[in-house]
């Protein structure tokens, strides 16, 4: 989430600022800090530093508009995607230029106009509150789990009949032919059961700790539901392949979180 936003000119004069945090900072110190980073990096490195870790779950994103000789700066959450924040800030800066160039007189830059510009650029880039997202994730993943369990059972029966696995009865056939099919069945079951729910849990999670916790809870719920399904022995497929189940779960969870971070600012 954007915690504070600043727009200043190349001389370090503040044109606009907005603080969304309860904690207040000395604006003069911050503006001097932004200008120092911009000027030092431009002179010493030939380019402007784009982001700085500020600690305490904060980082600074800088977007220079060299043609207009102005600089945009935003303090955001550490888990926000840098490219997404930079895109939002760039769009805000472009709208700022369209509205107030070429003079950039702080006396004519009205807060209401800037609020409208900022809100327009944040539209569709923020998610609901963490509680609502948690509720949504379980309203989706909860009912979906039992449907996926039934689907995995039926897919397993289909594969078993399609390949006529009951043909392999000798010890040699069990190891040479039946075991590869058994591994395939286990992998298919795990993918069916954990792909979509973990994508949802990762996509809607407020942070990675809650995402991982929800994933483990879903794993336990799935195993429990298997025991109460029409084929309780299928629970042992997941239990017997628990390391694989965890790997797939965390991988799908990561994909969901990764996609979410590219689309939305975090809280």
**Residue extents of the structural domains in the chain:** 2-122, 130-263
Residue 29 pLDDT > 70, yes or no?
yes
Residue 173 pLDDT > 80, yes or no?
no
Contacts 24+ apart (CB under 8 A), 178-184: 184/159
Of 5-19, 24-38, 134-148, 168-182, the least confident: 168-182
What pLDDT is stored for residue 155 in this prediction? 83
Residue 98 pLDDT > 60, yes or no?
yes
Coil, strand, or helix at residue 205?
coil
Helix intervals (H) in 101-207: 111-122, 130-162, 171-173, 179-204
Q: Is the model more confident about 220 or about 233?
A: 220
Residue 27 pLDDT > 80, yes or no?
no
The Cα–Cα gap between 180 and 182 comes to 5
Predicted confidence band of residue 49 (pLDDT cuts 50, 70, 90):
low
Structure tokens given for 254? 């990561």
What pLDDT is stored for residue 1 in this prediction? 80
Its sign, for the CA torsion 34, 37, 40, 43, is: negative
239-260: per-residue pLDDT in tens? 888 888 999 999 999 999 999 9
60-96: per-residue pLDDT in tens? 888 888 888 888 888 888 888 989 999 999 999 999 9
Tokens 């990675």: give the residue: 208
Estimate to the nearest angstrom the gap between the alpha carbon of 243 and the chain centroid: 24
What pLDDT is stored for residue 175 in this prediction? 47
pLDDT, average across residues 37-44: 66
Predicted confidence band of residue 119 (pLDDT cuts 50, 70, 90):
very high
pTM of the model: 0.79
Name the percent of the chain lying above pLDDT 70: 88
Assigned fold of 2-122: Beta-Lactamase (3.30.450)
Longest dimension (CA), the chain: 88
What pLDDT is stored for residue 185 in this prediction? 76
Q: Is the model more confident about 53 or about 135?
A: 135
Please report, for residues 178, 202, 212, 225, the alpha-carbon distance to residue 219 in angstroms, rounded to integers and kept in the order given: 27, 14, 11, 10
Residues 24, 107 contacting (CB under 8 angstroms): no
Structure tokens given for 140? 């989706």
146-171: per-residue pLDDT in tens? 899 889 888 877 877 776 766 655 54
Residues 192, 148 contacting (CB under 8 angstroms): yes
114-132 burial, b if ≥16 CB within 10 A, otherwise e?
A: beebbeebeeeeebeeeee
Name the percent of the chain lying above pLDDT 90: 32
174-230: per-residue pLDDT in tens? 445 555 667 777 888 889 999 999 999 999 998 889 999 999 999 999 999 888 888
Tell me the pLDDT of the chain averaged across its residues. 84
Residues 206, 266 contacting (CB under 8 angstroms): yes
The Cα–Cα gap between 255 and 203 comes to 8
Beta strands in the chain (DSSP E): 2-9, 14-19, 51-55, 58-65, 70-77
């Amino acid at each position: 989430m954007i915690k504070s936003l600043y727009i200043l000119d190349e001389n370090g004069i503040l044109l606009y600022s907005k603080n969304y945090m309860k904690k207040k900072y000395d604006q003069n110190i911050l503006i001097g800090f932004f200008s120092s980073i911009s000027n030092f990096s431009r002179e010493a490195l030939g380019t402007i530093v784009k982001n700085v870790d500020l600690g305490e779950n904060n980082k600074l994103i800088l977007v220079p508009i060299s043609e207009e000789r102005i600089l945009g700066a935003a303090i955001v959450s550490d888990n926000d995607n840098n490219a997404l924040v930079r895109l939002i800030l760039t769009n805000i800066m472009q709208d700022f230029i369209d509205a107030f160039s070429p003079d950039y007189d702080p006396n004519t830059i009205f807060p209401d106009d800037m609020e409208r510009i900022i809100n327009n650029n944040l539209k569709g880039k923020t998610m609901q509150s963490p509680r609502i997202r948690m509720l949504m994730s379980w309203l989706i993943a909860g009912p979906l789990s039992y449907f996926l369990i039934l689907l995995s059972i039926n897919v397993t029966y289909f594969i078993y009949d399609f390949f006529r696995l009951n043909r392999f009865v000798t010890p040699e056939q069990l190891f040479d032919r039946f075991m590869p099919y058994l591994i395939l069945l286990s992998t298919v079951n795990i993918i069916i059961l954990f792909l979509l729910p973990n994508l949802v849990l990762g996509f809607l999670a407020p942070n990675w700790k809650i995402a991982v916790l929800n994933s483990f809870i879903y794993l336990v719920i799935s195993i429990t539901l298997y025991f109460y399904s029409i084929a309780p022995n299928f629970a042992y497929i997941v239990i017997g392949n628990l390391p694989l189940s965890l790997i797939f779960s965390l991988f799908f969870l990561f994909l969901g979180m990764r996609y979410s971070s590219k689309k939305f600012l975090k809280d």
